[in-house]
Structure 1
Amino acid sequence: MIRAQDAAVAAQLPELIEASASDPIRRGELRGRALCARIAALHDTYDELFRTVGGEPLERGDLIARTIDAVRRWWPEGADEINGMAQGAGLPAEHVWFLNTRTELLAEARRLGAGAGARECSVAVQIDASAASTVGIQTWDWHDHMVDCWHPVAISGGKQSYVGMTESGIISKIGVNSAGIGVHLDILFHQEDHAGGVPVHLVAGRILAEAGSFDEAVEIARNAPVSASSAISIHDGARAVTVELSPAGAELVEPLHDWLVHTNRFQTPRLRQGEYRNPEETDSDADAWARQAVLRERTAREPEINGVDDLLQLLDSEPNQFGQLTCLPALSEPIGRRWHTLATMITRPVEQTFSIKAGIPLGDAPLRTFAVPGSDSTEAATSAH
C-alpha cells in the first residue's frame, strides 16, 4: 500500500553532507560551506516561525549567550563545531546557535504563553535477543513549510564516526555511530522548561560523536544540564532504554516485552507529575497517548517484526485515525499548526547503518540507506516500499 502525502515532501532527496576532520572547528567549517545557503534560509524560516507563534518577544541574544556558556562548560568540542559551521557558512555565530537552540527557545516562548502543542515524533525500538540485534524506527513530524530543511549527514574524524539525519545548521538529531550506538529523539514538555541550558540536539550530538558504549551514551544523556525536555532513546544491539530529560532531572524508561516505544509524553511517574499541559491543546495530549497505545497494542500482537516492510507498517496510520502515527497537516490551519511527517528513519547499530525516506512510512519516496564512515557496511539505496 502506498499512501498519499504532500508531493513536495515525497520529492525530497537531499544529498548526504559529509565532513571529516579531527579538529571540530574544521568539521564545522566543512559542514557550513556545504550548507551555507540552506543554513541562512532555515534561520530566516525559524525567525518567521517565532514571530508567527506570537507571545512576548524573547530576549534571544541573552538566552543564546547563556546557552553558549552552558555548552562551553559541558561539551566544548560541540561549541567549536557550531562556531565552525557559522564560519564556514559566512554567517554570524548567533544565527547558527539560534538554530541549535530552537527547541529551548520554543520552550521559553511556551513558558511565556505562546506556541501550540506539538504533534511530533513516534519512536519504537525492538530488541531481538535471538539475533543479538536491535532496530529502531521513528517518524519526524514537523512544520510542513519546513519540508526542505533536513539532510542526511556522515561525520568522521572525532572520537566516533556517525551517520544520521539533521536540519541544516543543527549539529545532530538521529543516527548511528561507529561504536554501534543508535539514537532517536522526541520532544517532551515539562512545567520547568525554559531556554539557556544545553540544547537537547547537542545531547544527541555528543552521544553520536563520543559515546563508545551503551552505558557511556546513557551517562552522557543523564548528566546533561538541559533546560528543555526531550526523550532520547538509545540502543546498541543488545539493550535499549529511553532517557527522559527535563530541567527537573532525568529518568529511564525500560523496554516492555522487548519493545521500547515513546510518543512525546513522560512515562516515568516523577517527571510525569510535572508535565506541561496546555488546557487549550487537549487534542495534542490525547493524540500522544493514543499513539503510544497503538504502538503498545501492535508490538504486543506482533512481537517479532521482521524486515523493513513490517517496520514501516508499524508506524503507519489511517487518515483521521485516533493516534496519528502518520502525520498529515490540516491545510486550514495556520503556519505553526500544520504538522507533516517529513521523514521516516530506521537505525541498525549492529550493522552501523541508517536508513531514511522522505515523508510518511508508507509514502512513495525511496528508502535510502547510509553506512557509518569507515564501517564494513556499504552505502545502498533501496526501492520505495
Structure 2
Amino acid sequence: MTIMFHLQTSGTPRELGKAHGRRLKAKICQLLDHYRHGFRDGTGGWRKDLDPESRRAFSLKRSEMIEHIYPEACEEIDGIATGSGLPYEDIWELNLIYELTDHHPACSVYGFQDCNGHSLLGKSDDLEAVELSSNVLTCSEPKGVLKSLNMHFSGTIWTTCAVNEAGLAYGMTGLRAQHQNPKGIPALFLVHLLVSRCETAVEVEHLCSEYQISTNGVSLLIGDATGDLMVLEKHTTGQATRRPGPRGAALWQTNHCCDANLREDEDRNSPTHQNSLDREANIVNLDGLVPRTLKGLMDLYRTHDAPGGLCQHGAGGLHTDTAIIMDPTEREMWVTEGYPCETEFVKRSISVR
C-alpha cells in the first residue's frame, strides 16, 4: 500500500505554494533525484550534466514567457521553491518535466450519468514505480476564487483531478505530441487553472479554447452539477469535445487521441502507446457490463483483465497509485490510497460556502 499526502492550503498563489513546499520537501527531493538525469535544455537535446547556471537561465526564460499568460502559476511555483527551501530551477524543472524529458503519459478516465441524471467520473493515476506515493490530496481555498478538493503531484501545480464547490469535476489523462509550440503553456498548467475559474463543463470548454499548449496534450473527462458530461481533448493542433449518447451511455479515454483531426501531431512511438490501446480495448469490452452506479465504477477500476487492466501492477512499466471517483452533484470524491484492488475507496467531501 502506498502513502498519500493530505494537505490543506489557503491564500494567495504564493501562499498555496509555500504550504505545499514546506510539507513535501523530502518527497520533492526524491523526485528531483530521479528526474534530473533526463532533463533537457529545452531544444530537444539531452543535457545530462547541465550546470546550475544554465538550468537557471532556462527556467527564468520559460517562467518569463509563461508569466505573461498565466502569472498565478509562476507565483505558486515560486512559493513551492520558497516553502521547500530548494533552488528555483529545481522546482521549475520538476513542473516542466513533460517539456524537458521523455516522460510518458498514462491514466484512464471513464464516466456516465446514473439513473438520477448525476454525472459520475472515474480516473486512475498510473505512475512509474519510483513515483509511487507522490500524489497529494489537497483541500484548497485560493483567495478570491473557487474552493476545491483536488489531486496534485508532489512539487508541482498540476491538478490531475478535482471537484470544486460549484459542482465541477474533472479527471485528466496525458497525450503525447511530436512537436512543441513555443507560444503555449504546459497542458498541466492549463488544467490547474480550470478548477479555480470554471463552474460548468461548458465554461471549461470555452476557457480551454482561449489557450494554446506547448506540447504533450491532455484529455479531460468533465462533469458538473447539472449532469453535463464531456470529454475534451486538448492538443498542440487544437481541441475537440464529445458527449455521450442516450442516458447511461459512457465516455472514456486513455492516452491516445480519439479525434481524427488531432492525430496529426500525436507521438505514437511512446513506450506506453500499446498499453493505452490495450486499456481502451478492455474498456470497450467491459462497457456494457458496468452498472451505472458508484459501485460499478469502483469495480471497473479494480479490474486486471490482461492485456489492458485498469488496475496496473507494472504492465508497460506502470503502477496504479490511486483511483478516484468523483460525484460533482454531491461535491464528493472517493479515493484509494494505493492499488484499487487492495485498498478501499474512502469518501472525501468539500463544503459549499
User: Could you state the TM-score of these two structures normalised by the residue count of structure 1?
Assistant: 0.80
Counterpart for residue 369 of structure 1: 347
1:79 shift after superposition: 1.6
Correspondence for 1:167 among 146, 149, 153 = 153
Q: Does 1:221 align with 2:208?
A: yes
Number of the residue aligned with 2:238: 249
Q: Which runs of 5+ in 1 are unaligned?
A: 1-9, 110-114, 331-336, 377-385
Q: How has the CA–CA distance of structure 1 residues 192 and 184 changed in structure 2, closer, same or farther, with 3 Å as cutoff?
A: same
Corresponding residue number in structure 1 for 2:339 = 360
1:81 maps onto 2:66 in alignment? no
What is the match of residue 286 of structure 2?
298
Provide the rounded CA distance (Å) in 2 between the counterparts of 1:244 and 1:221: 10
Kindly indicate whether residue 34 of structure 2 is the aligned counterpart of residue 34 of structure 1: no
Q: Is the contact made by 2:168 and 2:201 (CA closer than 8 Å) also made in structure 1?
A: yes
Q: Between Structure 1 and Structure 2, how many residues are aligned?
A: 339
Are the counterparts in 1 of residues 200 and 223 from structure 2 also a CA contact under 8 Å?
A: no
How far off its partner does 1:347 sit?
1.3
Note closer, same or farther for the CA distance 1:316–1:227 as it changes in structure 2 (3 Å cut). same
Amino acid at match of 2:255: N
The whole-number CA distance in structure 2 between the counterparts of 1:270 and 1:148 is: 36
How many angstroms does 1:245 deviate by? 1.4
Percent identity, aligned pairs only, is 23
Matches within 5 A, 1:11-26: 12-21=2-11, 23-26=12-15
Q: State the alpha-carbon separation in 1 of the partners of residues 211 and 322 from structure 2.
A: 27
CA positional deviation for 1:63: 5.0
Aligned to 2:310: 325
Query: Residue 68 of structure 1 aligns to a residue in which SS?
Result: helix
Secondary structure in 1 matching 2:68: helix
What are structure 2's unaligned runs of at least 5 residues? none
**Counterpart residue type for residue 252 of structure 2:** V
Cα separation, 1, equivalents of 2:87 and 2:267: 34
Within a 5 Å distance, the mapping from 1:105-144 to structure 2 comes to 105-106=100-101, 109=102, 118=104, 120-128=106-114, 130-144=115-129
Cα-to-partner distance string for 1:59-111 (whole Å, 9 max, x where unaligned)? 755553443234312221222111112111112222222222112223xx4xx
CA–CA distance in 2 between the matches of 1:196 and 1:90?
30
Q: Secondary structure at the match of 1:77?
A: helix
**Are positions 1:342 and 2:321 aligned together?**
yes
Corresponding residue of 1:145: 130
CA distance in 2, matches of 1:71, 1:369: 36
Q: Which amino acid aligns with 1:183?
A: Y
- In 2, Cα distance between equivalents of 1:50 and 1:358: 29
Residues 127 and 320 in structure 2, CA contact (< 8 A), matched pair in contact too: yes
Equivalent pair of 1:192/1:248 in contact (CA under 8 Å): no
SS in 2 for 1:74: coil
Deviations 1:96-131 (A, max 9, x none): 22222112223xx4xxxxx6xx47211101123x41
Tell me which residue corresponds to 1:334. none
- Choose 164-173 or 290-299, whichever is displaced more: 290-299
Q: What is the one-letter code of the residue matched to 2:172?
A: L
Give the direction of change, closer, same or farther, for the CA distance of 1:351–1:286 in structure 2 (3 Å limit).
Answer: same
Alignment RMSD: 2.6
For the Cα contact (< 8 Å) 1:185–1:231, is it kept in 2? yes
Going from structure 1 to structure 2, the CA distance change for 1:195 and 1:141 (only over 3 Å counts) comes to farther
Q: Which residues of 2 match residues 81-100 of structure 1 at below 5 A? A: 81-100=76-95
Amino acid at match of 1:234: I
* Aligned match of 2:36: 47
Asked if the contact 1:221–1:243 (Cα under 8 Å) also holds between the matched residues in 2, the reply is: no
1:210 to 193, 197, 200: 197
Match of 1:381 in 2: none
Q: Does 1:57 align with 2:47?
A: yes
Rate the CA distance shift 1:316–1:15 in 2: closer, same or farther, 3 A. closer
CA contact (8 A) 1:221 1:232 kept: no
C-alpha separation between the residues in 1 aligned to 2:5 and 2:100? 29
Classify 1:234/1:69 alpha carbon distance in 2 versus 1 (closer, same or farther; 3 Å): farther
Specify the code of the residue in structure 1 equivalent to 2:13: P
**Partner Cα distance (1:195, 1:44) in 2:** 27
Flag the 1:202–1:311 CA change in 2: closer, same or farther, 3 A.
same
Q: Which residue, out of 213, 231, 234, partners 2:219?
A: 231
What's the offset of the Cα at 1:192?
2.2
TM-superposed deviation, 1:236? 0.6
